[in-house]
Amino acid sequence: TNIYNEIIQSKVESQKLLAILLDPDKVVWENLAVLISKINQSPATHIFIGGSLVTTNILDDLIVKLKQNSTLPIVLFPGNPSQISTEADAILFLSLISGRNPDYLIEHQVNAVPILKQTDLEVISTGYILIESGNETAVERVSKTKPLDRNDIDYVIQTAQAGEMLGNKLIYLEAGSGAKQAVPLEMIKKVAQNIEIPLVVGGGIVNLQGIQKAYHAGADLVVIGTAFENDINFFD
Ligand code: 1GP
């Protein structure tokens, strides 16, 4: 199956998508069976794996275990090229287009190519846009870029449209993991209205109402990390 085509199909049918983001550094191996069963019982449609600062080498083993025990597609959401696993199904090939750090715009991507060429991963070009969220998040710290002003919706639209014109297949509006404030609903709405490609939204969404509001504003796929990490019963 082609994961991107399924995302497009869902958008056409107005079927909203939900990704649970797992940070390999925070997964407790002993609790993995319970974690996976909770994911399987949840409304999640995708599992994203990654983080800004993954230091562990359990990535492959973790994905193998997930694949053995869940039918959900596994999509890499890497902070850098060391976080590529051939065991996953697809990779969000991110370019941090809100920032002006060439390492995260193109350098890491160039370095990732020899690794990707040895895998069968489906590569999904993603324009990754970091939005100011009231606190400094790991993305900001690690990428050494400034997030975009949360009040300047026009500039965010313009950035998303530039990503689309460059050929990105997804736009990801990111407040950052553990963000104090999620991406503003008005911004989600305006960006969704002004691009054709699917819109991913994540960062600082901590309850079901937040997920629903993001969908209603126009998000096609919502990403939940911290809230599920902190409470495995989040979706109960
Ligand atoms: C981070 O968008 C994701 O990259 C999820 O953020 O951990 O705040 O849910 P949270």
Q: Is 223 in the pocket of ligand 1 (CB under 6 A)?
A: yes
pLDDT given at position 95: 98
Q: Is residue 40 part of a domain?
A: yes
Residue 4 lies in a domain: no
Question: What local confidence, expressed as pLDDT, does residue 123 receive?
Answer: 98
For residue 17, list its beta bridge partners: 221
As for how many domains the chain has, the answer is 1
Residue 75 near ligand 1, beta carbon < 6 Å: no
Q: Is residue 8 part of a domain?
A: no
Please check whether residue 236 lies inside any domain of the structure: no
Identify whether 165 is part of a domain. yes
pTM of whole model > 0.90?
yes
Q: Is residue 178 annotated as involved in ligand binding?
A: yes
Tens-digit pLDDT string for the chain (236 aa): 699 999 999 999 999 999 999 999 899 999 999 999 999 999 999 999 997 777 767 899 999 999 999 999 999 999 988 899 999 999 999 999 999 999 999 999 999 999 999 999 999 999 999 999 999 999 999 999 999 999 999 999 999 999 999 999 999 999 999 999 999 999 999 999 999 999 999 999 999 999 999 999 999 999 999 999 999 999 99
Q: Is the CB of 133 under 6 A from ligand 1?
A: no
pLDDT at 40: 98
Quote the ipTM score: 0.97
Provide the CATH number for the domain around residue 41.
3.20.20.390
User: Do the annotations mark residue 225 as ligand-binding?
Assistant: yes
Q: How far is the CA of 20 from the centre of ligand 1 (A)?
A: 9
Answer whether residue 78 is part of any domain: yes
Show the domain range for 166: 16-230
Q: How far is the CA of 214 from the centre of ligand 1 (A)?
A: 13
User: What integer pLDDT is reported at residue 51 of this predicted model?
Assistant: 79
Is residue 92 lining ligand 1, measured as CB closer than 6 Å?
no
The answer to whether position 10 is within a domain reads: no
